[in-house]
């Protein structure tokens, strides 16, 4: 029994160590390598331009390294909330088509969500509140604590909600990782499929995302209403 207790802390720290190593490398490169700094600044300018063709051409110029550039952008995007994660998924589809673009998006979401979850799992509330804001953290924490699995699904499926904030808060409130990542995949899959299907037609994609967001929000509100009704009866 004592041996297990001695081993568990080391094993439990492994996800944190890996997450901090990746995050630390990105931060270090930003400050010590001017080329990397310029790359991120250029990426920010291009991704916030709203020009899909410009974004697609910018990513394609990296050739073999383009998929790694996209994965890196998804990690960095966790801390740049002005760049929606859905936009980078659209870039994947425009650059690699609906199938490979969707798979690359799914991989990027998995890596970014896992890093955000484990960092928040250990660093504490003050650091996360300073990142996403105390009001947002409090609001998201309420829904994750009370409607955990379904709250994550709705946050993931709706591009109008904070995809990244939900990852940090899920780790902050110590939601089970398997439960969190399962809800993440279930929620993000319809969104990725919609982007893969309509990605080449921006107007149809915009309409589809609005319908998905509306349906997901109404579903969560209906579930909350049903849950409160059951609680009042109990």
Burial (0-12, 13-18, 19+ Cβ within 10 Å), 26: middle
Q: What is the pLDDT of residues 28-71, one digit of tens each?
A: 776 777 777 787 778 778 776 767 677 778 888 888 888 888 88
Q: Which of 66, 202, 152, 74 is nearest to 194 (CA)?
A: 202
Residue in 169, 160, 164, 162 with CA at minimum distance from that of residue 215: 160
pTM over 0.85, yes/no: no
Predicted confidence (pLDDT) per residue in 164-198, tens digit: 678 888 888 888 898 999 999 988 888 888 777 77
């Amino acid at each position: 029994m004592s041996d297990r207790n001695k081993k568990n802390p080391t094993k439990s720290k492994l996800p944190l160590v890996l997450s901090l190593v990746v995050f630390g490398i990105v931060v270090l490169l930003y400050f010590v390598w001017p080329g990397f700094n310029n790359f991120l600044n250029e990426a920010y300018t291009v991704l916030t331009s709203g020009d899909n063709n410009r974004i697609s051409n910018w990513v394609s110029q990296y050739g073999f390294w383009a998929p790694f550039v996209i994965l890196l952008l998804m990690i960095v995007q966790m801390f740049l909330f002005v760049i929606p994660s859905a936009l980078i998924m659209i870039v994947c589809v425009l650059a690699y088509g609906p199938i490979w673009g969707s798979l690359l998006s799914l991989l990027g979401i998995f890596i970014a969500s896992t890093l955000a979850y484990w960092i928040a799992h250990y660093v504490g509330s003050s650091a996360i509140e300073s990142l996403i804001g105390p009001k947002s953290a409090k609001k998201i924490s309420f829904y994750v604590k009370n409607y955990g699995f379904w709250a994550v699904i709705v946050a993931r499926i709706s591009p109008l909600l904070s995809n990244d904030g939900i990852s940090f808060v899920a780790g902050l409130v110590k939601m089970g990782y398997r439960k969190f990542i399962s809800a993440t995949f279930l929620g993000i899959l319809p969104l990725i499929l919609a982007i893969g299907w309509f990605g080449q037609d921006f107007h149809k994609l915009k309409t589809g995302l609005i319908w998905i967001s509306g349906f997901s929000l109404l579903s969560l509100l209906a579930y909350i209403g049903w849950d409160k009704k059951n609680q009042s009866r109990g």
